[in-house]
Amino acid sequence: MKIIGILADFINDEQKTLIKETAARGGYTVDFYMDEADAAQKIKDAEVLYGYWPAQMLKQAENLRWLHSASAGVNTYLDDSVYAHPGQVMLTNSNVYGTTISEYMVMMTLMLMRREPEYMRLMADREWKNVGAIRSIFRSTFAIVGCGNIGTNFARRVKALGAAKVIGIRRTQAPSDPAFDQVVTFDQLPNVVTNVDVLALCVPETPLTKGLISRQVIDSLSPKTYIINVGRGSAIDQAALIDALNQGRIAGAALDVMTPEPLPKDDPLYDAKNIILTPHISGNMSLDYTCQLDVDLFVQNLKLYVEGKPLPHLIDRKIGY
């Protein structure tokens, strides 16, 4: 059953042809599923799956050997229990979101620093007024948790915009991009975040990142600090964040991810002071460039797969990336 099943709405005809041709070299056929219902009927036959897959569908993929996630976040695919035969499944992901998500982070940094939500409210009320002090990326200090594709792209951008210092915080003391002035491991986080202008989170959800920004860490931050989160909501103690915002103990926050999602209409996070929320769209796949990169990366991996070669960037389901 050499079948590749794809559930994705962002692939154009040219890209479909490219995928089919690559697959055919190894004797594979490609099924582009119309929707989840269509996919559910056919998933049993697929040896390879690509796209945005609800984890609860995967149990039916009895022949699955390789799952390539179009999402950078793979936390729902980590547990053995989601698979029919966990031992035989390789997991890879796209990691193509650096450009679009880092642009989101630059935008949010500036919107917080320049008090743009206040100006939008004033203009909506047609009130012409200067709200006072603003700040700038230029000469500011950043702590970036997660030094992968997203964190590195953000570090490069704020450095290019004149940031005074960019500290990377990651799981291991691995080689990092020169845009980071300093790189420390997670255990050092409490020591390096207490006096930064921006604390930016771009880590996947793993046992190590859950609750990393604890109440204790939040309470240790400077009143000048803005928090930005584009990774997973579980990295932050959300109740502690709300308290710190409402009491003015930190300067503001911009969250694209939160707990839970979608956020219930009565959640107090909506009403927190100096907060900007977006509905998990920072890695919006509708950016042509991101789609192209995503398909390119899948096709590169597919070439290796059909030739029986090892796949790069395999995700270790135990550590989560």
Q: Which is nearer to its own copies, 3 or 253 (CB)?
A: 253
Q: Which is nearer to its own copies, 95 or 99 (CB)?
A: 99
Q: Which residues contact 38 (CB under 8 A, 6 or more apart)?
A: none
CB of 107 to its own copies, least distance (A): 4
CB of 197 to its own copies, least distance (A): 12
CB of 272 to its own copies, least distance (A): 12
DSSP letters of 258-282? -SSSSPPTT-GGGG-TTEEE-SS-T
CB of 126 to its own copies, least distance (A): 4
Q: Which is nearer to its own copies, 118 or 219 (CB)?
A: 118
CB of 276 to its own copies, least distance (A): 7
Q: Which is nearer to its own copies, 270 or 309 (CB)?
A: 270
Binding residues (CB under 8 A) for its own copies: these are 99-100, 103-104, 106-107, 110-111, 114, 116-117, 119-120, 122-123, 126-139, 157, 160-162, 261-263, 265, 270, 276-279, 281, 284, 286-287, 289
DSSP letters of 69-135? ESSS--GGG-SGGGSSSGGG-EEEE----HHHHHHHHHHHHHHHHTTHHHHHHHHHTT---------
Q: Which is nearer to its own copies, 18 or 110 (CB)?
A: 110
Q: Which is nearer to its own copies, 14 or 271 (CB)?
A: 271
User: How many beta carbons lie within 10 A of that of residue 155, not counting itself?
Assistant: 27
CB of 111 to its own copies, least distance (A): 6
Closest CA to 154 of 92, 110, 105, 208: 105
**In whole angstroms, what is the distance from residue 70 CA to residue 291 CA?**
9
Nearest 5°: CA angle at 126, between 120 and 129?
Answer: 75
